[in-house]
Each structure stands twice: as C-alpha cells, then as structure tokens.
A and B are shown apart, each in its own frame.
Chain A
Amino acid sequence: MNARIEGTPSFGNIHITLENGETLIAESDAMSSMDTGIDIKTVFNGGFFKCIIRKFLGGESLFVNRFTNSGDKTKSIVIVQPTPGDVREIELKEGQSICMQPGAFIACEDGVKFKLKWAGFASFIGREGLFKIEMEGPGKVWYGSFGALVEREVAGDFIVDSSHLVAYDPELKLKVQLAGGIFSSFFGGEGLVTRVEGNGKLVLQTRSLSGIAEWVNPRLW
C-alpha cells in the first residue's frame, strides 16, 4: 500500500494505491473518490462495546469502512478528513503505538489495532473524553488536523491548549490544569490547559474546531 499526500499544509488529501488483496480502513465519510471494483464494508470500529464507548465517550464515529481490492489490478482511492488542514503518515512497527485525540484518525492499513485506554476524569473535565484512542502497529496510519501540524519533542514537561493536541507517544502522561491563577485562567481566555509529562513526541494543530466555533457562535442568530 502506497500513499501520496497532496495539498498540504492547507488541504491535505491522501492518494492511496491498493494492490490485490490489500485492505484500507478509513474513517466514516473519508472517501472522496475511487476506482470501481473496490469492495466497501462498514464495520464496527473494533468490537461493538468498545465502539459504543468510543462513539459516546471518545468522540469518534461508530463505524469505519473497510476498502478492499479483491481484483487483480492495482486500484486507487482518495481519502480526506472533513476539516481543511495538514495530514501525516506514520508507520508503526510491531508493538509500537501512538495515542490520538478524537477526530485525528483518518485511515490505516489493515493490521493496525484500535485500542481504547482510560484517559481519566481530568481528561473528561478538559472536554477531551473519558477514553483515549491508541493505535498499535504494525502498519501505516494517516492522521490529520485543522490547520497545520507541529511536531514537538517533550523532555520533562510541556503545556498545550487541550483543543490543539492531535497525537502523542503513549509514554507521555496528560494532566489537565488551570492555565495560570484563577484570574488569568478565566479572564485570559485560556481556561484549562493540558500539562504533558514524560519523554516523547507530541503533535499539535495550529487551529482548533472549538476555536472557530467560538468565533462563529456570537455571530449566529
């Protein structure tokens, strides 16, 4: 399975070639266009119960689509996320994993496991969901953001705005805290932030959906 990512950083879209017998797993509604002869099967995203939890507490969709090339010719398919923004590919080795915030996952190779991990009440208070999604290799995973993606190595601790976190190494621990003192947290517009502790990589997005919604909301009537 080969992928060519185009249109980054503003409008990342992924052109994937499927060889005979290969299966791509993609987020609901991610297909933009494709060759005929690719079978599409809608399945629960890793078991019924986990799926329900993920949908209602993890903010992900209930179903994923399995696109399989069962013919003998190479087929192509174009996959995209709903938001305009950057897209990345990561190739996970056997046993290697990455944590993703709700909405970041776009697609992966068959063989990548979806795991659901308890994220804690602090994460829930920070409006990030009670559970977090961990993807485990082997296989390629494509994920994206609203806005551009920024990668950052953390050694020790680092603070990010909760809605701007996209993905992070499982070694990193997240804690929700106030941005500053009581006054600056509530009047400075930052509110709650996430403190990331440990050593590993994290990926941030330069825009957030909740941010644009806050801009749109006062203009609605």
Chain B
Amino acid sequence: MNVELVHRPGNTAAKINLNPGESMTAQAGAMIAMSGDMQIETTTHKKGEGGFLKAMKRLLGGESFFMNHYTPGSNGGHVYVAPTLNGDMQDYDLNGDTLVVQSGSFLAADHNVDIDVGWQGFKNLFSGESLFWLKMSGTGKVVFNAFGNIYPVDIDGEYIVDTGHIVAFQETLNYTVTKVAEGWVSSFMSGEGLICKFSGQGRVWVQSHNPSSFGQSLTPFLKPRRA
C-alpha cells in the first residue's frame, strides 16, 4: 500500500495504491473514486471479522459504525479518499508502535493495522469534544486528516495542546486531559475548554483550526432547526 497526498494543503485527497493481495480500511463515506474492479466489503471491524462491541464504541466516539475494506483486482488498483472538511493530511508508518488518532481525524489504514477505541474518561464530557480516541497499532500505513494545516511538535519535556486541535500523537507520550487555568470557573470563562498536557518524548500533530470553534462562529447565523 502506497499513499500519494495530492492538492495539499487546502483540499487534500489521498490516492492509495494497492498491489494485488493488499487491502485497505477506510472511514465510511471517505471514498471519492476508485478503480472499477475494486471490491468493497463493509464490516463492523476488521475484514472478515465481526467486532460488534468495537463498532458500538466507535459509534459513541463519533465515528461510523461500519468500516469499508477495499481489495483490488488481480492487477492492483487505487482508491481516492478525502474527508469532509478542508485541510491537510499526513501519513504515518506504524512499525509495532502505537499511534493515537483523534476521532474524526482517522481516514484510512493498511488492513494489518489494528484499530481500537480508547475511552478518555468523563473529563472530556465538559469539552464538548470527542470522548474517544482511536488507537492504531501493528504494522502498516495510517492516513489521518486535519481541519486546516498540520504542524508537528516534537515534544521532549512538556507541551500543551487544546483538545480540539489534536490530530494524532505517538503513544510514547504521557498525557493528562485537564483544565487550562487553575480554577474551573476561570477555565470555563477562558473559552479554551479542556487541554491536553503531554509529557515525555514523542511527536504530536496539531491542526491549525478547531472544527468546533468554526461551528460555534457559524451558529449565530444559522436558522433554528425545524421542529
């Protein structure tokens, strides 16, 4: 499986080339075009496996219940995938390590990558942001997307990222989800919601823009929902 990112950074799409015998898993709804003889299989977890509970967890995490698995014909083929929001993408080669991807930023992965849902606890309820992060492990490529640009930060020590700006991070990092200021009241007033405080060594990919913040600035202009 090989990945070409095209039209970066504003309107990125990933062209995923698959050799015969390889297969790829993508977020439901992400496919925009593909080879004519590509086979799609839709399951709740890995290709050929069930995993109802994992799918339920994923659904709670704001991801799709189903995942699509793409397998090319005897000559290989390709699939174009893209997310809904405008922005950049990044690919990452897993080599036995674990990558944590923010729910909503996962786009596609090699079939050999194991995708699990990590629950971040009740603390996240207050932020209005995703309660769940996806844990990717195994060997193979992962493609994730962002709203806006992606800037990687190599952490050696401590660093703070607004939870709405996290795209993905290496699991070698320790993290605590916490409030931005000393007290709850001032944290609430600051409008910053919750932040993730990383420590240790590893890389975090940050998205320049926060989808929830954009949604909030658009809200006053939208008409009320019809009852």
A213 near B222 (CB under 8 angstroms)?
Answer: yes
Judged by a CB distance under 8 angstroms, whether A49 is at the interface is no
Residues of B within 8 A of A (CB): 9-10, 86-87, 147-149, 151, 153, 157-162, 165, 180-181, 186, 189-193, 197, 206-210, 213-214, 216-218, 221-223, 225-226
Distance in Å from the Cβ of B159 to the closest Cβ of chain A? 6
Q: Which of B86, B153, B190, B223 has the most CB of A within 10 A?
A: B190
- What are some 27 contacts across the A-B interface (CB < 8 A)? A6-B149, A7-B9, A10-B9, A11-B9, A12-B208, A13-B148, A28-B190, A29-B191, A29-B192, A32-B161, A32-B208, A34-B159, A35-B159, A36-B157, A36-B158, A40-B181, A40-B192, A61-B191, A63-B189, A80-B209, A80-B210, A82-B213, A83-B209, A84-B148, A214-B221, A220-B225, A220-B226
Q: Which of A6, A11, A80 has the most CB of B within 10 A?
A: A11
Excluding A7-B208, A28-B190, A213-B222, 5 further A-B contacts by CB distance (< 8 Å) are: A13-B148, A29-B210, A34-B160, A40-B190, A65-B192
Residues of A within 8 A of B (CB): 6-7, 10-13, 28-29, 31-36, 40-42, 61-63, 65, 78, 80, 82-84, 103, 209-210, 212-214, 216-217, 220-221
* Partner of B210 from A6, A82, A214 at Cβ < 8 Å: A82
List 3 A-B pairs, minimum CB-CB distance, nearest first.
A28-B191, A213-B221, A82-B213
A11 near B149 (CB under 8 angstroms)?
Answer: yes
* Partner of B149 from A7, A36, A41, A42 at Cβ < 8 Å: A7
* Complex-state Cα separation, A35 to B191, whole angstroms: 18
Report how many A-B pairs have Cβ atoms within 8 Å: 121
Distance in Å from the Cβ of B99 to the closest Cβ of chain A? 18
A42 near B217 (CB under 8 angstroms)?
Answer: no
Q: Which residue of B is nearest A44, CB measured?
A: B189
* Complex-state Cα separation, A83 to B221, whole angstroms: 14
Distance in Å from the Cβ of B64 to the closest Cβ of chain A? 21
Distance in Å from the Cβ of A60 to the closest Cβ of chain B? 12
